[in-house]
Amino acid sequence: MANLKRIATAACAVALLCGSLSGCGGKTQAIDLKNPEITVMTTAYNVESAQPNSPVVEALQNYLGTKLNFSWIPSSGYGEKVTAAMGSGEYPMVMLITEKSSSVIQNSRGGTFWEIGSKLKNYTNLSKANEVVLNNISIDGKIYGIYRARTLGRNGMTIRKDWLDNLGMQEPTTIDELYNVLKAFKERDPDGNGQNDTFGMIMTTATSTFDNLAIWFGAPNKWGVAEDGTLQPAHLTDEYFEAVKFVKKLYDEKLINQDFATYDGAKWDEQFLSGKAGVIIDVADRARRIAGNIASVNPKAVVDVLGYVKKDANSKPATLPTSGYAGYFVFPKKALPSEKDLEFVLNVMDKANDQEALNLMNYGIKGRHYELDNEGYAVITSDTTLTKEFADLNQFATGIIETQLKKKYTTTVAETVDKVYKDNENYVVANPAEPLVSDTYSRKGPQLDSIITSANTKFIVGQISEAEYKAELERWKTQGGDDYIKEINEAYKAISKK
């Protein structure tokens, strides 16, 4: 997998950096191996992306052994460009897909893109791709692209370590211990100001806090495999409802903010920074940001981060993963008409995962764009004229192989976050239905999801009884849920036979 990464990254970077996609579609020819050139379309986040004459682009091309012709598309309108390409049939050799839309699914099934899953094992870097993430990008069990890696084990708990110390408590390791901490943060004056002005945990309209808790209680990640081998939605499991009842208990005892159902996620950090609450369950890197911001508000505050708590002392750890990717690169057959063309590009993508290529795409050229400090960390130039020379090149990097060169963090907790990421990956709960497609859900997904989230909230705040909650689950089934379950299981069965 490492080699595939290098090749994929390199090929894409070269193609994208060298200019427009003129010639990417229409009359395509096999790659000239004596003078290879690869066309790449990917996202751009800067006003001016790296240009073909950039010394970084030139260095990357030399390393990868091919010219890279980049088409940089602003991220805000990127999906429209992908739709336009599929409509016209004019493609680059390497094209980033940012979402599995119905048209992407149809084109994949229809043979527009090469299926590459069986080939990844042939490449040093690409063969190291994470199986969970590959499953997440797959369609009907088939892999059509190389993903751009993002942190898989990203979720965790941000907590006021100094409050724990003030109360003589340890960081929680189980659900019961978490409850005791939240209760103590409300009732035992953790900040020592003599006021009853704190509570345990901040929740918002975002569902990530509950989603993590459900996994810790043993619920599946959206879908789980039942005893009879069929797939079952998470919200129909006992473990899921245990998590709902736990949050209700927190609400009833005022251990969480009473306005959580309307509290804007954009204000998530505010009550933590102001010393009102001491726990947030969301992405672990929130602790990194909070630690950097709280120093100016309360220099004595100590922020720490945990990856998870277990259901009880006898339970195994379980963590809620992200999808693990930010889009994936596909390889259209019209632009790459032969297996030889595809193999050349995959080799480039593989080589683009070598450390030298990764350093170029993420940091530029040593001595020009960055230097190394005494500890070996990269110190990047602040000269915008120079940073333009590698701007957006990281959007071509797949990141299947991790970049060894790092920037130094300013806080200790920031380093702990990286450790949490790595540890969490050992315990991620994969969603077996991630690659499966349901026509019913594609039409009714928002309405179906709303029934469950609304029922959860109403039960937690006491607006409906347990019997009424269960009635909402039945309503979910009649409103399309039964069809959704049937279609997912039909797709799951079809894949299982392959």
Q: Identify which of 146, 176, 171 has the alpha carbon closest to the alpha carbon of residue 160.
A: 171
- Tokens coding 270: 């505010």
Let me know whether 185 and 298 are in one domain: yes
Inter-residue contact 445 to 473 (CB < 8 Å): no
Q: What is the mean pLDDT of residues 125-147?
A: 95
E strand or H helix that includes residue 155: strand 155-160
Q: What is the mean pLDDT of residues 228-232?
A: 97
Let me know whether 127 and 256 are in one domain: no
The band of 121, judged by pLDDT with boundaries at 50, 70 and 90, is very high
CA atoms within 13 A on the CB side of 247: 30
Phi, psi of 264 (to 5 degrees): -70, 130
- Tokens coding 407: 């920037």
Residue 403 in any domain: the answer is no
| Residue 264 CB neighbour total at 10 angstroms | 11
* Confidence check: pLDDT of 352 > 90: yes
Phi, psi of 350 (to 5 degrees): -65, -45
pLDDT score, position 495: 87
Checking phi first, is residue 201 left (phi over 0); if not, alpha (psi -120 to 50) or beta? beta
Last residue of one domain, picked from the residues 395, 425, 455: 395
pLDDT score, position 46: 95
CATH number of the domain encompassing residue 291? 3.40.190.10
Let me know whether 35 and 79 are in one domain: yes
Let me know whether 146 and 9 are in one domain: yes
Counting DSSP H helices and E strands in the chain, the numbers are 18, 13
Tell me if residue 409 falls in helix, strand or coil.
coil
Inter-residue contact 333 to 110 (CB < 8 Å): no
Q: What is the mean pLDDT of residues 314-340?
A: 97
Let me know whether 11 and 136 are in one domain: yes
Residue 416 in any domain: the answer is no
Residue 413 in any domain: the answer is no
Kind of pairing between the strands at 325-330 and 94-97: antiparallel
Q: What is the mean pLDDT of residues 115-127?
A: 98
- Tokens coding 30: 């096999």
Q: What is the pTM of this model?
A: 0.88
The band of 497, judged by pLDDT with boundaries at 50, 70 and 90, is confident
pLDDT score, position 498: 62
pLDDT score, position 102: 87
Tell me if residue 355 falls in helix, strand or coil.
helix
pLDDT score, position 29: 53
Inter-residue contact 117 to 101 (CB < 8 Å): no
Residue 450 in any domain: the answer is yes
Let me know whether 384 and 353 are in one domain: yes
Let me know whether 140 and 179 are in one domain: no
Let me know whether 12 and 144 are in one domain: yes
Residue 417 in any domain: the answer is no
Residues 6 or more apart in contact with residue 432 via CB below 8 angstroms: 223, 224, 225, 231, 492
How many domains does the structure of the chain reveal? 3
Tell me what the pLDDT averaged over the chain comes to.
93
Query: How many whole angstroms separate alpha carbon 330 and alpha carbon 251?
Result: 46
For 163-191, the pLDDT digits (tens) are 999 999 999 999 999 999 999 999 999 99
The band of 263, judged by pLDDT with boundaries at 50, 70 and 90, is very high
Let me know whether 129 and 42 are in one domain: yes
Last residue of one domain, picked from the residues 306, 338, 373: 306
What is the Rg, in whole angstroms, of the alpha carbon atoms belonging to the chain? 25
Count Cβ atoms within 10 A of the Cβ of residue 35 and give its class: 0-12 exposed, 13-18 middle, 19 or more buried: exposed
* Confidence check: pLDDT of 19 > 70: no
Query: Can you list the positions of beta strands (E) in 287-381?
Result: 303-306, 325-330, 370-372, 378-380
Query: How many whole angstroms separate alpha carbon 14 and alpha carbon 65?
Result: 9
The parent domain of residue 288 ranges over 155-306
> Tell me, what DSSP letter sits at residue 433?
T
- Tokens coding 71: 């088409």
pLDDT score, position 2: 39
- Tokens coding 269: 């950090």
β-bridge mates for residue 2, sequence order: 125
For 372-431, the pLDDT digits (tens) are 999 999 999 999 999 999 999 999 999 999 999 999 998 899 999 999 999 999 999 999
pLDDT score, position 410: 85
Residue 238 in any domain: the answer is yes
Last residue of one domain, picked from the residues 360, 395, 430: 395
Query: How many whole angstroms separate alpha carbon 28 and alpha carbon 30?
Result: 7
* Confidence check: pLDDT of 31 > 70: yes
Let me know whether 97 and 206 are in one domain: no
Let me know whether 141 and 19 are in one domain: yes
> Tell me, what DSSP letter sits at residue 113?
B
More confident residue, 28 or 325: 325
Residue 20 in any domain: the answer is yes
Residue 433 in any domain: the answer is no
- Tokens coding 491: 């797709």
Q: What is the mean pLDDT of residues 273-295?
A: 96
Q: What is the mean pLDDT of residues 128-142?
A: 94
Query: How many whole angstroms separate alpha carbon 126 and alpha carbon 419?
Result: 24
More confident residue, 495 or 385: 385
Q: What is the mean pLDDT of residues 140-149?
A: 95
The band of 18, judged by pLDDT with boundaries at 50, 70 and 90, is very low
Query: How many whole angstroms separate alpha carbon 154 and alpha carbon 353?
Result: 22
Query: How many whole angstroms separate alpha carbon 482 and alpha carbon 473?
Result: 11
Tell me which amino acid residue 244 is: V
Let me know whether 130 and 228 are in one domain: no
